[in-house]
Chains A and B, each alone.
Chain A
Amino acid sequence: MIRVVLPAHLKTLTHVSGEVELVVTGPVCQRSVLDALEARFPVLVGTIRDPVTQQRRPFIRFFACEQDLSHVAPDEPLPPEVETGREIFFVIGAMAGG
């Protein structure tokens, strides 16, 4: 079970108040987690990654296990703690502004 926390605006869009629990088949990486997330919540298509290029949107960041995983390749395995559900995979709207 993968545990994902979305930023506030995406929680509103998906009508989720807490964590999202996902079952991911196959290797657990950013791509497979986001694929599973978008399959569960189609409204998220295009909000985290570009719908055409599949690249992470510029102001989105991924964190888990106290690490910034934003620049890890989409097919690189995520830490085992994420795969086992011991640690949360955070989708963050990058902080900007005054």
Chain B
Amino acid sequence: MSSVRVLVGTRKGAFILTADGSRKKWRVEGPLFAGWEVYHLKGSPLDPDRIFASQSTGWFGQLIQRSDDGGATWVPVGNQFAYDGVPGTHQWYDGTAHPWEFARVWHLEPSLTDRDTVFAGVEDAALFRTTDAGANWQELAGLRTHETGSQWQPGAGGMCLHTIIQSPVDPARIVVAISAAGAFRTDDDGATWKPINRGLNSEGIADADAEVGHCVHHVTMHPSRPDVLYMQKHWDIMRSNDAGDSWFEVSGDLPTDFGFVIDVHAHEPETIYVVPITSDSVHFPLDGRLRVYRSRTGGNEWEPLTVGLPQRDCYVNVLRDAMAVDTLEDCGIYFGTTGGQVYASANGGDTWDAIVHDLPAVLSVEVQTLA
């Protein structure tokens, strides 16, 4: 019988939640790496028992852990993320030049084609890759050294590379997103990159055609439609039908289009999910009601999903990497909150249950569907 394994990164460690395909009874394991921030964990699509985790603190820096047995045991692997050459400067919050400094790994993306290859998105923004299962990491420096790099600025959470999307049909194509530089795409395996931000309009950027400077919160793609990208920008839900070459807004009838997460149904590429957050200055759900919004039309027309979610006095946030879907026949949707709840829907969002209520603040949620 199929089962699911939910990998949860939190401010104070990682947790692994498992259930059979009915997704009714859950087993909670953890905390792993107790007391450390775990920004992200993700399993290899080629070998689900191989999982990588980003473990860090402001005190002791960055570690990367690898499990080859589904999270039962872990070994620390390489943790040296050295920028290629002299890293130079980017813009600081006040517009002055600031040296590129490694802070942490935000996102780990195991390769679709090689179980030993993993991409890592880091702060200050850069993309690294290991081809030896984490022992050594090399920067794909063509991104950071793009001619716009010196203009990139951090978002409030730091200048992080938080989204890495590999094309399932073209191994040389990768899309990444950086707060607050924007989205970028390579079509030559990371050698060269182009900003893909045409059509994004961001409050505070006077130039409507600005190539960079956009605070992209998250981007997602359905593997059957690799040219269709969905984006939760700081404000605005955006869609591209040409792999990011151009974007148009699909916020439609959402009550607010600020938010962090966005994801796609596993079997319906036009069905997408967001969690609207009140505003950029008020990071909790509108009116204290936690609502996931679903569009079955690829955007513009949205319906609130509320059954099983708190509809009063709820003031949590849902961070950018904290939503995921499983691939069971009745697609499961999962998200975690800064209040420590992990919610699951086993029916595409129609109804929700909390798997756990009281974890530390959730930073990321990933789901593995196991045979």
Contacts and interface: CB of A to CB of B under 8 A. Distances in A.
Interface in B73-109: 76, 79-80, 82
Contacts, number: 41
Interface in A29-73: 43, 45-48, 50-52, 57-60
Interface string A1-45: 000000111101100000000000000000000000000000101
Interface size grouping (class) on chain A: 20 to 34
A61 to B, nearest CB: 10
A9 B80 contact: no
A52 B60 contact: no
A9 B35 contact: yes
Contact of B61 (A7, A8, A12, A47): A47
B36 interface: yes
B310 to A, nearest CB: 28
Nearest to A43: B76
26 contacts: A8-B35, A9-B36, A9-B57, A9-B60, A10-B60, A12-B34, A13-B63, A13-B76, A43-B63, A45-B79, A46-B61, A46-B63, A46-B79, A47-B60, A48-B60, A50-B61, A51-B79, A52-B80, A52-B82, A57-B61, A58-B58, A59-B59, A60-B59, A60-B60, A93-B59, A94-B59
Given A43-B63, A43-B76, A60-B59, 14 more contacts: A9-B35, A9-B60, A10-B60, A12-B34, A13-B63, A13-B76, A46-B79, A50-B61, A51-B79, A51-B80, A52-B82, A57-B61, A60-B60, A94-B59
Interface of A: 7-10, 12-13, 43, 45-48, 50-52, 57-60, 93-94
Interface of B: 34-36, 57-63, 76, 79-80, 82
